Each structure stands twice: as structure tokens, then as C-alpha cells.
């Protein structure tokens, strides 16, 4: 190897370069985990892999249930609807309410964050709006999913 990585002191330079790359990757991942996009990615992953436990970490289902239209709740109590949604997520079969989540474009969707950095709105598909809220631990959670 020639150049600055291959000379006598190249071994040290090579390790410094590798350490800088690893540090940048670690800090980049830590930054990504504190963004609304990461919450959307994790929620979509929970739907795709039928994991209600993961979905509950990145979505506040009590708020989501309260924001659902009457056509979705069918007059049922909030707790009944919440249990039905969680059961639907855990079910490996076709999803009804969350079927559209599989088609979300979470990497390219526009996300608008408020000036005080406490809430955000994303539009993962043309007819879907997702509202997120920032928790005290800097994690973002979904509080409403509105479809048209």
C-alpha cells in the first residue's frame, strides 16, 4: 500500500482513521435515535414484524385511540379498541387498520418539527398524517395517525 496509509507511520494513521469512522457512526446513530424519523422507522418495523411490544415503545396508543374516527372505533370503549389494535399488530395475518403502514415511505417523507422541538408532523403517504410528540428522555412517540 502506498500513500499516507502505507508509509512507516501509516499503521497509526490507519487506526486513527478507523477510530474516527467508528466514532462518527456511533454518534450518528445516537443522533438518529433522537429524531422523529427513527420513531416512524421503528413503528413501521413493528408492524412489518408483528411486534406489539416494539409498537408500544414508539406509539402512545391511548392518544391514537382517542384520535380515531367513529368509523374505526365503532362505538367501543377506548380500552377495547386499544386491545384490538395491539392484537392486530401481534397477528401475523393481514392487518386492517395498520395495512397502510406497510407502504409508508419513512425515509423520504417530509417531517415538520415545531420551533420548540416538542412535536412533529410527518406525511409518510399522500393521504396519511402522523403526529409525533417528544418525551422527556428525547425519544419521539406517535400520538395520532390520521388517514383520509
Summarize pLDDT for 29-87 with one digit per residue, the tens: 999 999 999 999 999 999 999 999 999 999 999 999 988 888 778 888 889 999 989 99
> What cell does 42 get?
421503528
Residue 12: per-residue pLDDT: 76
CATH class of 36-147: alpha beta
Is residue 68 within 8 Å of residue 81, measured between CB atoms? Answer: yes
- DSSP helix, strand, coil percent of the chain (3-state; round to 5): 50, 20, 35
Q: What does the pLDDT look like over 128-144, one tens digit per residue?
A: 899 999 999 889 999 99
Phi, psi of 50 (to 5 degrees): 55, 55
DSSP class of 6: T
Q: What is the mean pLDDT of the chain?
A: 88
**Portions of the chain given CATH number 3.10.450:** 36-147
Amino acid at each position: 500500500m502506498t500513500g499516507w496509509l502505507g508509509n512507516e507511520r501509516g499503521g497509526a494513521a490507519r487506526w486513527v482513521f478507523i477510530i474516527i469512522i467508528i466514532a462518527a457512526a456511533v454518534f450518528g446513530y445516537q443522533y438518529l435515535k433522537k429524531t422523529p424519523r427513527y420513531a416512524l422507522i421503528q413503528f413501521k418495523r413493528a408492524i412489518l414484524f408483528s411486534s406489539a411490544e416494539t409498537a408500544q415503545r414508539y406509539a402512545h396508543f391511548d392518544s391514537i385511540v382517542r384520535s380515531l374516527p367513529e368509523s374505526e372505533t365503532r362505538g367501543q370503549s377506548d380500552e377495547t379498541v386499544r386491545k384490538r389494535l395491539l392484537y392486530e399488530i401481534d397477528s401475523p395475518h393481514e392487518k386492517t387498520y395498520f395495512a397502510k403502514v406497510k407502504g409508508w415511505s419513512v425515509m423520504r417523507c417530509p417531517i415538520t418539527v415545531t420551533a420548540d422541538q416538542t412535536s412533529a408532523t410527518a406525511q409518510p403517504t399522500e393521504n396519511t398524517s402522523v403526529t409525533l410528540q417528544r418525551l422527556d428522555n428525547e425519544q419521539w412517540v406517535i400520538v395520532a395517525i390520521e388517514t383520509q
